[in-house]
Structure 1
Amino acid sequence: MQRVLHWLIRHWAVTATLLLLGCGALGYSLAAPAPPREIRIATGTVPDSAYTVAAEAYAQRLQATGFRVRRVPTQGSVANLEMLRARQVDVALVQGGIADPERDAGLESLGAVFAEPVWVFLHADRGLERLADLRGRRVSVGPEGSGTRVLALALLAANGIDATEFEPLPLGGAAAAAALAEGSIDAAILVSASISGGVATLLREGPAQRLVDFAEFAEAYAVRLPFLSVVRLPRGGVSLAADLPDRAHTLLAPVASVVAHQDIHPQVVSLLVGIMQEVHRPRTLFAAEGTFPNALAQDLPMNADAERYYARGRTVLQRWLPFWVAVWVERLLFVLLPVLGLALPLIRFGPALYAWQMETRVWRHYETLRRIEAEAERDPDATARAALRGRLEALEGRVARLALPVNYRRHVFALRRDIAYVRAQLDPAGPGVDAQTR
């Protein structure tokens, strides 16, 4: 072991190079891989739906950053979760109350982005006042795979009505509005963050289609369905000119979240959360400016990188550099930091180690010279003296062949003077006579 250490010290340049390469390899192995170049986003099938609009906004900004974005049309939140679990998409919007932490293990939330009010419209002329009156009725609850259907069934179940006690119809949006207007159904339950499509149509139908006000039952619903929050539709919120609606309404709303796999790249998370803030920070009818996105009331665990972003914002590099440049610099720093941590002390002690290495090439010959001198002091006979002189000549030849930088040649000359001194001791007349002769 000592010989190995001695070799490592003697060959410090090789050792330093190996250590630096090892640290660089370690840093590279620990550094996160580069982000993927393609991201698959689940989008809605209705052009003006909040999910489709938001997903398209994300896609356009990701493409502007340099990603390839593949848009995958889906039927809604339930289908989005299924595709996330099957890894058919990377990012999707999911309605609150749909995800299950055990069933959807491995998925994480990147933050809530907007409230999605529940719009319950009833035929005013059929004696219907609230959800509890829908037993035995024909009700539009949204298509299979949609979050609307899951939420509608949960609302009716909270009123003691299971799926066998009414006729659920897979209608949504404009189709549900048309069916309610023509009287082929008794009620329509819609979930929409924007007042457009079927919601806008039914609000403009006037008193024939009555929008349910949840003001008196909001707290009771919140106890039974805690993923619902209370939002207010102000009087004139749809149209001030038409005084639509003609009074304020209290609505119930789940919150939509952006969901991704737990192994999503950390820098993609930072980029996405930044995009979400840009898209969803402005004021809306149901939220003050800056309310969304946020990390509150999530069905799934919050992604740790997203949580850090909400707390601290973007990194300095991401703030000042284009995304892909910041990615490259951050990965390079991750590799170089351990190398620099080792290189600085090596640079500091390198000259001393180099000097020690050069001088050691001379000093190691002193051990041979010391042994020859010790034997010369024992008053050897003529044959032994001749042998010692031969050893001295061989030693002097090896020393003369040493190739050292000019700064260290003085050590060679000093050793040759010492060799001459020992040779003088081997002279039959002794060192003093030799000195007088010279």
Structure 2
Amino acid sequence: MHRILPWLIRHWVLSSAVLLLACGALGYSLAAPPPPREVRIAVGTAPDSAYTLAAEAYARRLEETAFRVRRVPTQGSVENLAMLRAREVDLALVQGGIADPARDAGLVSLGAVFHEPAWIFLRAEAGIGRVSDLRGRRVAIGPEGSGTRVLALALLAANDIGPLEIEALPITGTAAAEAMLAGAADAAILVSARTAGAVATLMRAAPAVRLVDVADSADAYGVHLPFLSAVRLPRGGLSLAADQPEQSVTLLAPVASVLAHQDIHPQVVSLLVGIMQEVHRPRTLFSAEGSFPNALAQDLPMNADAERYYARGRTVLQRWLPFWVAVWVERLFFVLLPVIGLAVPLIRFGPTLYAWQMEGRVWRHYDTLRRIEAEAEQARGDDARAALRERLEALEGRVARLSLPLTYRRHVFALRRDIAYVRAQLAPTRRPGGIEQA
């Protein structure tokens, strides 16, 4: 170490450059890798479904930000979850109450985005008054693997009706509406955030088809199925002109959430949550403006970066710079931070170290001069004193050859004066009669 430190100081520029490069490499290793250029999104096959429309809105905005988006068609929430677990997609919308924290470990939520009401329609001719009367009836509950089927079976189970106690019709949407109107189904349970399509068709079929109002039992359903919340469909909410519905109706609704893998890139999370806010912030039939997206009532853990975004908003860089520019500026910051942290003291103490180095080239010759002076005090013979004078001449020669900036030449002149002083002590003296005496 006693040799390394002087070398580092003498070669200050080189050692500083090496240290700065090492710090830059450390910062680069600590910086998160850049976001992937491609994002795979699960997109529903029904073109007018809320899931499809939302996923398409995300995809378009991601493409506007120079991402490549691959749309992967799926049949619904259950398949979306399976594809997320298999890493066949990166993002998917999933109906509340479908995900399981144990089974779906490794997945996280980026936030709830909209209510998905359960529309329970009963055919008036069937003489059914409530959900608990559906035992033994023909009920359209959606195909296997659909979120509609999962929620329909949960609602029936809450009324002590098992899946084998009904005639389950694996249809939903338009097919379920047609079966109801044709008398092929006694009831249909639809899960939809949109009021167009099958919901509108069955609402127009009143009084032959009746929408169940759960106002009296909404709290009880919330106890048995905590992922459900009550939403209100106001009178005339579907059509003021047709007065549909003729009175306000309370529905049960899970929330749809955007799910991703827990290792999703933090900057992609920030971008996605911002996109979700653009898409879902406006007022809807079942939510006030600004209600969604949010971090409430999630089946799976919330992504930490998404939570920070909801609390603080976008970073300053992403607020003022294009996404990819902000990404590289943030990465550059991580690289430069340790470099700047080291460069500042190096720059501050650099002149001092440089002066110490220049002066040290002179000061180290004082050790030789001090030894010569100490030996001169002990020298008694002519030969010894002559040898010391020769060493002084050699020392002065080395000092004279020192190449130093003009600012530091004064130290050389001071050293040469000191050499002259020691030389004077070793000068031969004259004996009486004019003979020199060493």
TM over 0.5: yes
In the alignment, the residues of structure 1 paired with residue 217 and residue 121 of structure 2 have an alpha-carbon distance, to the nearest angstrom, of 16
Does residue 1:376 correspond to 2:387, yes or no? no
In the alignment, the residues of structure 2 paired with residue 308 and residue 337 of structure 1 have an alpha-carbon distance, to the nearest angstrom, of 23
Superposed CA offset, 1:11-41 (max 9, x none)? 3333332332222222211111111111111
Superposed CA offset, 1:271-327 (max 9, x none)? 111111111010000001011011111111111111111111111111111111111
The answer for the alignment partner of 1:110 in structure 2 is 110
In the alignment, the residues of structure 2 paired with residue 90 and residue 51 of structure 1 have an alpha-carbon distance, to the nearest angstrom, of 15
Superposed CA offset, 1:124-148 (max 9, x none)? 1011111111111121111222111
Please give the secondary structure, in 1, of the residue aligned with 2:330.
Answer: helix
Q: Which amino acid aligns with 2:198?
A: G
Cα deviation for residue 192 of structure 1 reads: 0.2
Cα deviation for residue 4 of structure 1 reads: 2.9
The answer for the alignment partner of 2:395 in structure 1 is 395
The answer for the alignment partner of 1:436 in structure 2 is none
Does residue 1:288 correspond to 2:288, yes or no? yes
Q: Which amino acid aligns with 1:202?
A: L
- Larger mean Cα displacement after TM superposition, 138-147 or 254-263: 138-147
Cα deviation for residue 393 of structure 1 reads: 2.5
Please give the secondary structure, in 2, of the residue aligned with 1:39.
Answer: strand
In the alignment, the residues of structure 2 paired with residue 234 and residue 31 of structure 1 have an alpha-carbon distance, to the nearest angstrom, of 52
Q: Which amino acid aligns with 1:171?
A: I
Does residue 1:300 correspond to 2:300, yes or no? yes
The answer for the alignment partner of 1:198 in structure 2 is 198
- Larger mean Cα displacement after TM superposition, 418-427 or 81-90: 418-427
The answer for the alignment partner of 1:361 in structure 2 is 361
The answer for the alignment partner of 1:433 in structure 2 is none
In the alignment, the residues of structure 1 paired with residue 240 and residue 377 of structure 2 have an alpha-carbon distance, to the nearest angstrom, of 119
Cα-Cα RMSD:
1.4
Does residue 1:224 correspond to 2:224, yes or no? yes
Q: Which amino acid aligns with 1:36?
A: P
In the alignment, the residues of structure 1 paired with residue 216 and residue 374 of structure 2 have an alpha-carbon distance, to the nearest angstrom, of 111
Q: Which amino acid aligns with 1:65?
A: T
The answer for the alignment partner of 1:422 in structure 2 is 422
Paired residue total:
430
The answer for the alignment partner of 2:66 in structure 1 is 66
Please give the secondary structure, in 2, of the residue aligned with 1:114.
Answer: strand
Cα deviation for residue 155 of structure 1 reads: 0.5
In the alignment, the residues of structure 1 paired with residue 268 and residue 411 of structure 2 have an alpha-carbon distance, to the nearest angstrom, of 61
- Larger mean Cα displacement after TM superposition, 334-343 or 314-323: 334-343
In the alignment, the residues of structure 1 paired with residue 379 and residue 159 of structure 2 have an alpha-carbon distance, to the nearest angstrom, of 119
Q: Contact 1:137–1:186 (CA<8 Å) still a contact in 2? A: yes
Alignment of 1:69-88 (within 5 A): 69-88=69-88
- Larger mean Cα displacement after TM superposition, 44-53 or 7-16: 7-16
The answer for the alignment partner of 2:341 in structure 1 is 341
In the alignment, the residues of structure 2 paired with residue 77 and residue 400 of structure 1 have an alpha-carbon distance, to the nearest angstrom, of 87
Normalising by the residue count of structure 1, what TM-score does the alignment of the two structures yield? 0.95
Q: Which amino acid aligns with 2:232?
A: R
Does residue 1:254 correspond to 2:254, yes or no? yes
In the alignment, the residues of structure 2 paired with residue 380 and residue 37 of structure 1 have an alpha-carbon distance, to the nearest angstrom, of 87
In the alignment, the residues of structure 2 paired with residue 398 and residue 6 of structure 1 have an alpha-carbon distance, to the nearest angstrom, of 20
- Larger mean Cα displacement after TM superposition, 1-10 or 385-394: 1-10
The answer for the alignment partner of 1:14 in structure 2 is 14
In the alignment, the residues of structure 2 paired with residue 171 and residue 380 of structure 1 have an alpha-carbon distance, to the nearest angstrom, of 120
- Larger mean Cα displacement after TM superposition, 297-306 or 165-174: 165-174
In the alignment, the residues of structure 2 paired with residue 333 and residue 320 of structure 1 have an alpha-carbon distance, to the nearest angstrom, of 16
- Larger mean Cα displacement after TM superposition, 389-398 or 257-266: 389-398
Q: Contact 1:238–1:244 (CA<8 Å) still a contact in 2? A: yes
Cα deviation for residue 344 of structure 1 reads: 1.5
Cα deviation for residue 166 of structure 1 reads: 1.1
Alignment of 1:134-173 (within 5 A): 134-173=134-173
In the alignment, the residues of structure 2 paired with residue 75 and residue 145 of structure 1 have an alpha-carbon distance, to the nearest angstrom, of 8
Please give the secondary structure, in 1, of the residue aligned with 2:195.
Answer: coil
Please give the secondary structure, in 1, of the residue aligned with 2:207.
Answer: helix
Cα deviation for residue 249 of structure 1 reads: 0.8
- Which stretches in structure 2 are left out of the alignment for 5+ residues? 431-438
- Which stretches in structure 1 are left out of the alignment for 5+ residues? 431-438
Does residue 1:28 correspond to 2:28, yes or no? yes
The answer for the alignment partner of 1:124 in structure 2 is 124
In the alignment, the residues of structure 2 paired with residue 33 and residue 379 of structure 1 have an alpha-carbon distance, to the nearest angstrom, of 73
The answer for the alignment partner of 1:435 in structure 2 is none
In the alignment, the residues of structure 2 paired with residue 353 and residue 175 of structure 1 have an alpha-carbon distance, to the nearest angstrom, of 84
Does residue 1:98 correspond to 2:111, yes or no? no
Please give the secondary structure, in 2, of the residue aligned with 1:207.
Answer: coil
In the alignment, the residues of structure 2 paired with residue 131 and residue 398 of structure 1 have an alpha-carbon distance, to the nearest angstrom, of 107
- Larger mean Cα displacement after TM superposition, 74-83 or 394-403: 394-403
Q: Which amino acid aligns with 2:212?
A: V
In the alignment, the residues of structure 1 paired with residue 380 and residue 92 of structure 2 have an alpha-carbon distance, to the nearest angstrom, of 96
In the alignment, the residues of structure 2 paired with residue 9 and residue 104 of structure 1 have an alpha-carbon distance, to the nearest angstrom, of 58
Superposed CA offset, 1:207-239 (max 9, x none)? 111111111111111100000000011111111
Q: Which amino acid aligns with 1:98?
A: I
Superposed CA offset, 1:253-277 (max 9, x none)? 0000111111111111111111111
Q: Contact 1:11–1:357 (CA<8 Å) still a contact in 2? A: no
Normalising by the residue count of structure 2, what TM-score does the alignment of the two structures yield? 0.95
Please give the secondary structure, in 1, of the residue aligned with 2:232.
Answer: strand
Cα deviation for residue 181 of structure 1 reads: 1.2
Cα deviation for residue 118 of structure 1 reads: 0.1
